[in-house]
Every structure is written in structure tokens, then in C-alpha cells.
Chain A
């Protein structure tokens, strides 16, 4: 009896630990989620109150949304930008991790790793501020350099064809270092006996990488690819919002910036929410499938 009470007593404290954050999560996440689902089927008028009685319009918001050219443009831009980002954010960090592992000077390795990871911790507001300066056609450092070499200025952020590429490259430069960490950790865990055997056999550096390092990384590479595919509708709000300008709206607008614009500058609350729900549901399906695959194939669990 005493033991049983003790058992319940122990469980009680876990509930006590769980509920305060859970209540916060319900208030600031799950209530907005439910309201968001409702709003996307309503003609939402803020005057009637967030929890007030609103007019139901069925699928009207979604129908209108899918008929908007700006929506399909944003969707296509999002897919182009994020798919290229996903591919590069696998290839570049893997390559750099492999090369970085070859560096024999510990100090040099540390300096490189610290430096390339640093931009991850700097906000897109600041980096956008910097890049807008550097890439400016008239006064920017890059174009000054190009002009000095006798080349014409490039409107990196002002012309559609360059905008997407600029967005992708600057994002990879910011994030590849941080993404390298997990691959470096994988390489560090490879059984050293394999390398020693290769050494005895007289394998070259390239052969070592090709036949030991890469095969040992295969699983984590597949896993990271699958998991990142779930985020294919996130092309990077912080970055695009801060780097976009009116000259490249058509080529640069992504789903998230469009959703923000609809909601906060055009005050189309229901339309914005419908676009957001579309994105949320597609993302949920993708991420759910990705995690399921990762769990089934690689025994990957989040918690």
C-alpha cells in the first residue's frame, strides 16, 4: 500500500513538471492552430473578435487562393529556391567535412571550423544589411571589384535571374559550416582500424575517402536528405523578406513572404491563413513521411 502511494506520488510530480509548459503550448500554439483552421473557412472580420462568431464561407478562400497567379508564382519560387538549397546543403557540408577531416593541423582545423560556423549565429537582418551593401550595383565591394577587372556591374538583388541565385548562395555560405558539424561527428566515429588497414595496404588519400569515409557516411547523408525534404516549402522567410525588393517581387516572392504580405499589409486575414494552412498541411505530410521513413529504415527517433 505504501509502495503504491509512493508510485502515484512519483507520477504526480511528472504531471506537475509537464503541465505548466503544456498550458503555454496550448495557449500560444494549439489554440491559434484550431482558430487558424477555422479562419481559413471563414470570412474573418477582426471587429467580431478573435473568438467571435464569424461568417462561414466553405472552401471559398482556398478556391480564390489557388486561382491567384501570385500564389502559384510564390509556390514555384519556393520550390526552386528550397530544392536547390536542400541539395547544396547536403553536398557542400559533406564535402567540407571530408576535406576538413584531412587537415592534419589541429589548430588550423579548429580555426576553420570556428570561422565557418560563425555566420549561422548572425541574423538575416544583419547579413541582409551587409549583403545589400556589398552587392549594390554602384557602390558595392563585389561590383567595384568587377568594374576594376573591366566587367560590368551585376544587379545581384535587383534582377530576377540573379536574385534566386544570390539568395541560394548567400544562404549556403551562412549555413554550410553549421551543417558540417554532424558530418564531422560521424567521421570522428568511424572505426580507426579501417584506416589503419588501408594505410598498411598503401591506399591513397582519395581511395581512403572513396572506400572508407564516404561509405561510412552514407546512412547519415540519406537520413539528413530525407529529413530536409520535409522542409521543402520553407525557402527561408527571414532571408528573403530582408533581401527582396520591389524590382524582383515576381521572381523572389516565396510562400512565407506572400503569407505575411496578405496578412499584415493587405489585411486579408482569411486568405493569408488559408495559404498558411495549405503550407502547414503539405509540410506535415512531408515531414511525417520523412520521419516515418527515417524510423522504419534507420531506426531514427526524435524522442
Chain B
């Protein structure tokens, strides 16, 4: 993109815009700063924390490191973001490729596309969804978090729009050479679609990492909760019922508030580390996939 607007003299309105945007940025990420600060504060001063930790201590983290329930849930979530996105990807590239063809090349393509698309705007609701999963034997089963959501239609649509922009000449040349569509997909389409693949992988990983509702209704045993469901029970639900089975008065520097903060921050951490790397891909993939 060409650069425009070269103002030599001092630009007051630009300064104003910059200050406003920085302030807004600060407000937007304030919850993250605050939770980090609370997690690093001592329990007696945690309620006064705004931006910076008070009575700096790492004891909340030390406590969480030895918290088995937290790490078991984290382990389940890690398994989930390995299995889930792999399945999602597998169930996205093949239908996306087929649906990216014209009706002339693949008769019935439009009907199939409608069946896929309709599922995103018309559903039977949460009760029959739950009962179907139970009938399929996936209740209280890790795979209940993976299989019912295996087909992510949004990802398929994004990918198929991306595939459509792959130059037809590449494919025609490959067909001349006797390649079949399986090879064309793997050797021509996938290598040029890295940005789109990265985008849907990111969405899928984020979706699985953040998924909590299915864990809550599909897992009977709390030992099978993924991380977000575990945190939902510990951080959100329990304080509301104002009951805690831990006697915090025996600890000096930590409380439910500071240890909760530490657990929340550890759960955000993978997103924080991961996200800047993926950002350049997903902005590209998102824009190309949605603008036709």
C-alpha cells in the first residue's frame, strides 16, 4: 500500500487520535492487566489492585502448581486442542474442495452447499442436541467434545471461498498430467492455501480451548472437565454460591481471589503466546475468505 499524507508541520488532531486510541486500548486490555496484577498480589491487598500488583508474591502460582484438579483439566484441554482441530481440518478441506467446484464439474454441488449452510442458521436446539449425543454414546466421554462439532461449517465456507480463487490453470495442467482430485487438492490447493488453513486452524484451536458449555453438560464427572468448564465451576459458579471447600484462613498470602486470578491468567497465557504469531495469517485469511 502506498503511503499517503505526509504532514510536515505538527499535527494536533493526529496527536488527539493517537491519545484516544491508546486510552481505548488500555481500557480494552485492562481486564487482563488487572487479573495479572491480582494474581501477583498478596491476599490482604488484592482488593486494592488496579494496574499494578500490591504486596508482590508468587505464592498464588506456587499454590496452583500443586493443584492437581487444575492441571488435569488443563491436560484434557491440551488433548482437546490436538484432537479437535485435526478432526475439524480433516472435515473441512475435503468438503470445501468439492464445494468449491462449479455445478458443471460437480453436479449437486449447490444442493450440498445449501445443506451445509442451512445448518448454520437453523437448528433444533440444545435439548435434542444433548439427547442425540447421549444416544450416540458420547455422554461423559472425551470424544463428546470432539465428534459432535467435527464439521465446522463456517470454516468450510471460508476455505471454499479461498479455494475458488486458486487459478484454474494450475488444476487444468495437473489434470492433463493425469493427476486425480485427491492429488490436486493435496499438492496444489493446500500449499497455496496456507493462510486460509492457518486461519481455520486458529479459529478451531481457539474454539476448542475456550469451549466450556459442552464440557459442562456432557461430562458427568468433574474429573473429565476441560479447563474452561473446570474454571467455570470454580471461578464463576462457586463464588456465586459462596461456598468453598478450601479454608483460606490457613494461608498467609493467598486467597480464593488471588488463586482464581492465577488460574485465569495461566489459562489465557497460551492465547497470549500463540496469537501474535497467527495474527498475520488470520487477517489475510479472513479478508480473502470473506471478500469475493
Contact = CB atoms under 8 A, between A and B. Distances in A.
Given A103-B17, A303-B117, A280 B126 contact: no
A196 B5 CA distance: 8
B53 to A, nearest CB: 12
Given A125-B228, A144-B48, A303-B117, A99 B27 contact: no
A272 B101 CA distance: 40
A141 B180 CA distance: 62
A35 B236 contact: no
Most A Cβ at <10 Å: residue of B22, B109, B127, B292: B127
Interface string A104-131: 1100100110111111011101111111
B253 to A, nearest CB: 16
A284 B121 contact: yes
A24 B129 CA distance: 13
Interface string A218-261: 00000000000010000001100010010000000000000110
Contact of A280 (B47, B108, B125): B125
Contacts, number: 276
A204 B155 CA distance: 42
Contacts of A91: none
A207 B14 CA distance: 14
Contacts of B286: 181-182
A35 B124 contact: yes
Interface in B24-57: 24-25, 27-29, 31-32, 34-35, 38, 46-50
Most A Cβ at <10 Å: residue of B107, B109, B115, B124: B124
B8 interface: no
B127 A301 contact: no
Contacts of A57: none
Contacts of B49: 141
A283 B118 CA distance: 12
Interface string B104-143: 0111110011011101011111111111111110000000
Contacts of A182: 286-287, 290
Interface residues of A, number: 98
A46 B135 CA distance: 11
A21 B127 contact: no
B136 A27 contact: yes
Contacts of A100: 21
Which bucket holds chain B's interface residue count?
A: 35 or more
A114 B276 contact: yes
A108 to B, nearest CB: 7
B230 to A, nearest CB: 10
Interface string A126-149: 111111111000111100110000
B interface, by DSSP: helix, strand, loop or mixed?
helix
Interface stretch (A7-15, A64-72, A78-86): A7-15
Contacts of B117: 302-303
Nearest to A185: B287
Nearest to B148: A28
Nearest to B30: A134
Contact of B128 (A32, A102, A195): A32
A59 interface: no
A288 interface: yes
B105 A125 contact: no
A210 to B, nearest CB: 13
Contact of A276 (B95, B127, B267): B127
A10 B289 CA distance: 26
B24 A116 contact: yes
17 contacts: A10-B105, A21-B91, A28-B149, A32-B132, A34-B124, A37-B124, A46-B131, A96-B21, A108-B18, A122-B268, A125-B212, A128-B236, A260-B126, A287-B121, A303-B113, A303-B117, A303-B157
Interface of B: 1-2, 4-5, 13-14, 17-18, 20-22, 24-25, 27-29, 31-32, 34-35, 38, 46-50, 91-92, 94-95, 97-99, 101, 105-109, 112-113, 115-117, 119, 121-136, 147-151, 153, 156-157, 160-161, 180-182, 206, 209-210, 212-213, 217, 228-229, 231-232, 235-236, 239-240, 257, 260-261, 264, 267-268, 271-272, 275-276, 279, 283, 286-287, 290-292
